[in-house]
Amino acid sequence: MQDPAAGRVERYKSREGAASYNTLYTRTWAKRWATRMEFRVIRRCLKIVGSQGSMLDLPSGVGRLYPAYRGCAHRHFGMDISLEMLRFAREAMREADPGLAQSSATHLPLKDGAVDFVFSARLFHHLPDPEVRRRYILELCRVSRSWIVMTFFHTWSLKNILRRLRRPFDRKKPKVTMTADELRGIARPAGWELVRTIPLSRLASGHHFAVLRRISP
């Protein structure tokens, strides 16, 4: 049986899958509400990060979140495992004239400290293997000089607690989750501190945005 995460990646790599994702967050009121909430939380994170020289959006997807971070850096870069996603991202981010490249999030073709700030949303919960998740976080730490904003699905969010309570009845697969302390445990040895986590919604979502700052070279 195919790993659902692998199947999702293959779909995102296709022209049809990328085109479908490009309109996903505009089709229903719930998705449009989620985007508005994300924009609001991202802007709160950016008040902490401040203006930066360069930033990397990983994965950039179709550039859906670009309007939320527009202007936060002088130079924008985007990477995604899907070349088709990047085609849509180039159009969405055309005013920024971004540098775009196809890449896996766990093996970035960048030097240490290549950018001032890395932004990474909605990838963590698609990585079921704990070691892959760890490599992903450490890659963010490696290529950023100063700041990271990333999302993760919090173990102790109300959404996840309710999901776990319902699992004996609906048999849904457990979410890929992490606690703030587990994130600290990975980031601290790499020279980073967790400054703050902000929930997307305390009631309706388990996603948290984490702001991390480098504390040592």
What mean pLDDT, rounded, does the chain reach?
93
pTM: 0.93
66-97 burial, b for 16+ CB within 10 Å, e for fewer? bebbeebbeebbbbbbbebbbebbbebbeebe
What pLDDT sits at residue 203? 87
Please measure the distance between the N-terminal and C-terminal CA atoms of the chain and give it in whole angstroms.
43
User: Mean pLDDT across the stretch 140-147?
Assistant: 98
The domain that holds 156 is classified in CATH as 3.40.50.150
What pLDDT sits at residue 11? 87
User: Mean pLDDT across the stretch 90-117?
Assistant: 96
User: Mean pLDDT across the stretch 67-80?
Assistant: 96
User: For residues 85, 15, 107 and 134, what is the CA-based torsion angle, rounded to 10 degrees?
Assistant: 80
What pLDDT sits at residue 1? 39
Question: CA 102 to CA 129: how far, in whole Å?
Answer: 22
Q: Is the pLDDT of residue 35 over 90?
A: yes
What pLDDT sits at residue 211? 98
- The SS3 of residue 118 is strand
Helix-strand-coil split of the chain, %, nearest 5: 45, 25, 30
Residues 6 or more apart in contact with residue 51 via CB below 8 angstroms: 72, 73
Which among 162, 182, 188 has a CA at the least distance from the CA of 174? 162
Number of domains in the chain: 1
What pLDDT sits at residue 2? 42
Question: CA 27 to CA 19: how far, in whole Å?
Answer: 13
**Distances from the Cα of 33 to the Cαs of 37, 110, 140, in angstroms?**
6, 35, 28
Question: CA 176 to CA 126: how far, in whole Å?
Answer: 7
212 touches 187 (CB < 8 A): yes
User: Mean pLDDT across the stretch 163-182?
Assistant: 88
What pLDDT sits at residue 133? 97
Q: Is the pLDDT of residue 97 over 90?
A: yes
68 is in which domain, residue-wise? Answer: 4-214
168/126: higher pLDDT:
126
What pLDDT sits at residue 5? 61
